[in-house]
Structure 1
Amino acid sequence: MKRKNEKLMRKQIDGRLIRIYISIVLAVFILLSSAIYLMLVNLNEKKSAYEAIDGYLDLSDLDFGKEKWVELNGEWQFFEGQFLPTREGGDFSHEPTGAGEQARIIRVPGPWQLSSGTGSPSRGFGTFRLLVTLPEQAVYGLRAKTVRSASRIFINGQEIAGMGRVASEAGLYQPMSRYCTGFTQSRDGRMEIIIHVANFYYSKGGILSSLEFGPSGDMITRISRETGFEIIVIFSFISVGVLFFILYLLTNRGRHLLAFSLGCFFMGLYLSVMNNQVLNLMFDLGFASRTRVQIISMVGAITCFLTFVERFFRTTANRKLSLAVKVFMMLTLSGALINPLWVMTSAQGLFQVILGLIMLTSFGYMTFVMIRAMFKKMVAVEYILVAVVSLASYWFSLLAKALLGWKMTYYSEWMLIFVLLSMVYLIGDRLYSDYLEMTELTDKRLEREFEYFFSQISPHFVYNTINTIIALSYEDDDKTRDALNHLAMYFRGKLAFHKQKGLIPLETELEMVVAYLEIEKMRYQGKLHVEYGIAQDLDCMIPPLTIQPLAENAVKHGIASLDGAGTVRITADRAENGFTRITVEDDGRGVTDEERAAIFGGDSERLGLKNVTKKIELMPRATIQFSSSPGRGTIVELMIPEGGIHADLEGRAGR
């Protein structure tokens, strides 16, 4: 048997080493591929052969069958302070009819610099205009991504898309932030594109990202693929959230499971209002509603993931620092939640800095905690390593996008997928380790307790209980039924618990304790009093037959020998640092120092206490304290980590 266990242990160690090597290779691959990809996309971006010059873009020799789509970058005509009127069919003259002033040339994409006296070079309104020559007559699509912050898009005089409400005054203007796409037929292979734009809040106005243009079929395919990928990412987070929420409900253990599941829900909601804003497929959200959903989901996701890290890595996390980050984040974003337009006012620059600081602090703290857990305890290092690298890459991409304006093209979402998968495997590894350790605990316990089992059911207890029930049957049928129910529960618990593998919920153990004490109350009648002080919602798993032997000792050796009445008190509450405190107390005769030494030396009738001590010693971080003095009763206090064994993976590794 010993040789078999050693062989199994070597196999497990070899398997973990292989996973560690794979994780190192994967982490290096993520870092190198991320750096190369982002540099190729943003630093070595090739200049397109097709760029607008002086408000005109010639695409007549472009092969859309090969290119699929093109960005409408270059020099656009810009009419500041006026919404250029449109003509049905388009106006293809260089100086359009109705233009109040001569156009100036402005580069797209890029922020505008206005001089119309609105008090800020970024705030005001105007019209962008581009004439395009196309290779053939066809239906084309145009997609605008970041236009600050209200727009109407016309092609050949027909309005095809728009967002918000453009206006020449701030009071009539309504901002919006979303992608918009429109389709229309070209006219004789030509198109006049006119875009009315207004911005009275954002610190940058104009067309800030490239407009995408191409045949309708190719544009629909491109948009569908992007939207489909976003739906897959969102569905992945929500599905994992549902899975772990069900797991939490079924096991009723581990608040970290609840925090992780809720974090996944919030993250899925947050992603649904970004980029193509998948949530708008079901709800038509305005700017204020979308901003509130974005802030609530972001705060919820960060708060839940901070709570998860705090509970999952208890020995390496700093709860006070985590709480400070949460409070700072909520206070800062509360103003934006109440008034979303504050995001775009003159304080926008400050808001962006604060938002970046919050993201950096939150993700940086989570990364730091996982790195400490990885190097301090070397537990599940293969999954933590991939999660750390992916998480660091994710918040680096957020900073690069916010500060440098880099294109991500779903790089961030891929990093989130790696983080999600790593955390799923990390939690799965924790649960599997719990199962192995609980099995080991069970094997050691069964070796001792089956031989101890029948000695715990005292013949005197059985005879006296049966005699008590017989006597009650002549006096009170209801009390007789209650006594039989308690006796049945007691025996059922004894038999079931000795066959039980692993840990059981505290509530289950307490049910048998109550059954036992109710039987003893009937036996001793008015001599035994019982008091309970059990807190609600305790997340505690304990070895079977841990509290019942303590209660039996309190009655048998503490109260029974008294001349008068005595009290047994059972309490359970939540202590500090993630522990549950369980106390069994009696005001009986107590024990002397010699009796105490005999108890823990195994030379005493109180074998139950010694067995309970051995069980507690098998649990990481769990402790038992025994205090007693002659004539003043006995107190036995258990300190159990919330959730049982799985509540502290690091603690287990550090022993």
Structure 2
Amino acid sequence: MKLSKYAACTLIALLIILLSGCSTLAGSDDPNIEKGVLDLTDWNFSSDGNIKLDGEWEFYWDRLLTYKDLDSEVPDLHVQIPSNWNTYQINGAKLTGEGYATYRLHVKTGLPEGTMMGFRTNVFSSAYNLFINEKLTASNGRVAAAAIDEVGEYRPQAVVFSIPSGEFDIIIQVSNFHYARGGFWYSVYMGSAENIQNFHDSIMGKEVFLLGALLIISLFYFAIYILRRELRYTLYFALLCISIAIGIDTVGQLIITRIFQGISFKTVILIWYCSAGWIVSLLISYVHELYPSKFSGVAKKLFLCNALLWQVLCIFTDPVFYTRFGQISNYVEISGYLCTVIIVAIGLKTENKNGRLNTISMIIVLVTYIHDVLYWTNVIKNDFGELFYAGLFLFIFIQMVIQAKRIKLFHENETAAELSFLQAQIKPHFLYNTLNTFVAISYYDMDKARSLLTEFSHYLRRSFDFKDLSQFVPLKNEIELAKAYSEIEKARFEERLEITFDVFEDLEVRVPTLILQPLIENAVIHGILPKTEGGRISISISQEVKFLIFRVKDNGIGMDAKKLLDVLRQGNRKGIGIGNINNRLRRLYGKGLDIKSSPGVGTEITWYIPLNSREE
């Protein structure tokens, strides 16, 4: 199966992004941190901007040291930051995830004492204190040397401080007794106070916008599902958007902890880990609804069971235990995204029109997730950080385009089915009376009987014309059906019924089908026939600027305002009533029938068809 050129270009672009992330910071313009020292004497924070404090920091394991303590201490290692300490070895022994340590970086700025600077910190596992020399500048939770004393917290923040001199130490104490992997996970940014605050506000603003957009989208599709329960994929899509929003926040700015301040640290980790499993399960359920197959049905059940079992494991065990299986969880999630690609590929094989576009969106999700797994495990580094949730947002956007097409097609098919039903309605009494009329006329006027049979064949042909079930037909088709019906009725009721036509010359103009003839029929049955002496119906079609003006006028019995309102309200009853026609025109053009009627005088019905809105 060949992907379209658009899919290929998208894949190539994503691979370039992925590969670009493999370049380390050594090749960037930022000064290098070597052996715990960063020289920024040539760095201009106003013009050069913020700097990531990535590089070799001093690492002191199993010690929570202060500025004064460090004068007499020797580091166990110089470690590359960011990274988790589970990958470190001291004297040949690999460190465990649980424990505590101190990191130190000596910074040379050349700036005068009292210069206002700022840090932008993400999260550490599981609590930290950040000092400038001996002064505490930022913290999350409570750092401790024992699990019982530690309080974990994840809260990205921006902090401002004044430098004590041109050179100073950044000292970070970290403890971890709540998570399987501990350490200095993410980059810390340093810059001028204004730049850091702007940087932090930008990150927060982007996430708030993203979460708001996802929640609005989810509410919109929930509303669609409530109104149209048969569109089950809209329910899964709404739930998927909510899960993605939760997932984005738990690996992002943790706005949820700012809104619900009583939420525990363990609950934050629980939501983080469970959301990933539900995203995969709901994504597969969603694509299964779009492209059902045996494979998608099996995948849906398997990943639903996986999400439920993973949820149970996370609820009933400690985060230190279940977070050890994070790597396995990543592999399961990657396999889930692969399954979505396969499901869509099966849909593409069956010549589904949206298959290629869906394949592109699934590839985006897969590639960005693989990128982030490598980023989270510090295999790759880049300047733009995580991509997965941006990829998911792009996926959501593409899916909204696809769903808009599907909903449009759904309503078109529904309309076509309705029109098919209406076209097939030949009232038995009309059929019997018409045949009896032919028999009666044939006794005294065979030519007229033949002519009426011809008109009747035209009427039947148009009534049973199912080749084109669109809402629009050439004007000549509508006029032919209306004239055929009119001739038959005139033959049946003879001098009691007079029908005249004055029509627009361009008969190829496309107009909504089954509007004109049903309104003539209503005028005959409900307007003229109740009058003993009968009456007259005039049909006119004219052009005025960019509109076709249709008018059906009779001098029948008419109706009062209450009766007219009742007629218009009967839009949901079976048959082609005035109410149904009025509703159809409103849906198409925003304006329905203009009806003027007076008891004993007659009824005039007018409607307008924009010429520039007709289908070609």
TM-score normalised by the chain length of structure 1: 0.60
- Provide the aligned length of Structure 1 versus Structure 2: 438
Q: 1:356 to 1:497 in 2, by over 3 A?
A: farther
Q: 1:362 aligns with which of 327, 332, 336?
A: 336
2:188 corresponds in structure 1 to 211
1:565 corresponds in structure 2 to none
1:41 corresponds in structure 2 to 21
Residues in 2 aligned to 1:116 and 1:167: alpha-carbon distance in whole angstroms: 24
Residues in 2 aligned to 1:240 and 1:28: alpha-carbon distance in whole angstroms: 28
| 2:50 aligned with 1:72 | no
On the 8 A contact 2:422/2:575 being kept in 1, the answer is no
Residues in 1 aligned to 2:316 and 2:178: alpha-carbon distance in whole angstroms: 17
Residues in 1 aligned to 2:181 and 2:401: alpha-carbon distance in whole angstroms: 43
Q: 1:84 aligns with which of 62, 65, 86?
A: 65
On the 8 A contact 1:270/1:297 being kept in 2, the answer is yes
Residues in 2 aligned to 1:243 and 1:361: alpha-carbon distance in whole angstroms: 30
On the 8 A contact 1:383/1:425 being kept in 2, the answer is no
Give the secondary structure class of the aligned counterpart of 1:66. coil
Q: 1:439 to 1:376 in 2, by over 3 A?
A: same
2:412 corresponds in structure 1 to 436
On the 8 A contact 2:284/2:340 being kept in 1, the answer is yes
On the 8 A contact 2:126/2:154 being kept in 1, the answer is yes
1:107 corresponds in structure 2 to 79
1:155 corresponds in structure 2 to 132
1:257 corresponds in structure 2 to 234
Moved more, 378-387 or 255-264: 378-387
Deviations 1:99-130 (A, max 9, x none): 56433442240344465999945543232222
Deviations 1:128-161 (A, max 9, x none): 2222122424211123335333211111322121
Q: 1:232 to 1:414 in 2, by over 3 A?
A: same
1:142 corresponds in structure 2 to 119
Q: 1:337 to 1:295 in 2, by over 3 A?
A: farther
RMSD, aligned CA: 3.5
Q: CA deviation at 1:40?
A: 2.0
Residues in 2 aligned to 1:321 and 1:222: alpha-carbon distance in whole angstroms: 42
Give the secondary structure class of the aligned counterpart of 2:418. helix
| 2:258 aligned with 1:278 | no
On the 8 A contact 1:108/1:208 being kept in 2, the answer is no
Residues in 2 aligned to 1:261 and 1:191: alpha-carbon distance in whole angstroms: 51
Q: 1:452 to 1:231 in 2, by over 3 A?
A: farther
Residues in 2 aligned to 1:410 and 1:74: alpha-carbon distance in whole angstroms: 19
Q: 1:377 aligns with which of 319, 337, 351?
A: 351
Residues in 2 aligned to 1:74 and 1:195: alpha-carbon distance in whole angstroms: 15
Q: 2:316 aligns with which of 327, 338, 356?
A: 338
Q: CA deviation at 1:66?
A: 2.4
Give the secondary structure class of the aligned counterpart of 1:126. strand
On the 8 A contact 2:221/2:235 being kept in 1, the answer is yes
Q: CA deviation at 1:373?
A: 0.6
On the 8 A contact 2:100/2:144 being kept in 1, the answer is yes
Gaps in structure 1 of 5+ consecutive residues: 1-20, 87-95, 457-487, 503-655
1:416 corresponds in structure 2 to 392
Residues in 1 aligned to 2:63 and 2:13: alpha-carbon distance in whole angstroms: 47
Deviations 1:202-252 (A, max 9, x none): 454332333211111111111222222222222222111111111222334
AA aligned to 1:298 is A
On the 8 A contact 2:133/2:168 being kept in 1, the answer is yes
Gaps in structure 2 of 5+ consecutive residues: 433-565, 582-616
| 2:429 aligned with 1:449 | no
Give the secondary structure class of the aligned counterpart of 2:339. helix
1:645 corresponds in structure 2 to none
Q: 2:42 aligns with which of 48, 58, 61?
A: 61
Q: 1:449 to 1:418 in 2, by over 3 A?
A: same
AA aligned to 2:360 is V
Q: 2:363 aligns with which of 368, 386, 389?
A: 389
TM-score normalised by the chain length of structure 2: 0.64
1:313 corresponds in structure 2 to 291
AA aligned to 1:305 is L
Q: CA deviation at 1:355?
A: 0.8
1:175 corresponds in structure 2 to 152
AA aligned to 2:79 is R
Greater Rg over alpha carbons, structure: 2
2:584 corresponds in structure 1 to none
Q: 2:163 aligns with which of 164, 171, 186?
A: 186
AA aligned to 1:134 is T
Q: 1:312 to 1:214 in 2, by over 3 A?
A: same
Give the secondary structure class of the aligned counterpart of 1:128. strand
Residues in 1 aligned to 2:51 and 2:42: alpha-carbon distance in whole angstroms: 13
Residues in 2 aligned to 1:411 and 1:119: alpha-carbon distance in whole angstroms: 31
Q: 2:265 aligns with which of 287, 302, 312?
A: 287
1:304 corresponds in structure 2 to 282
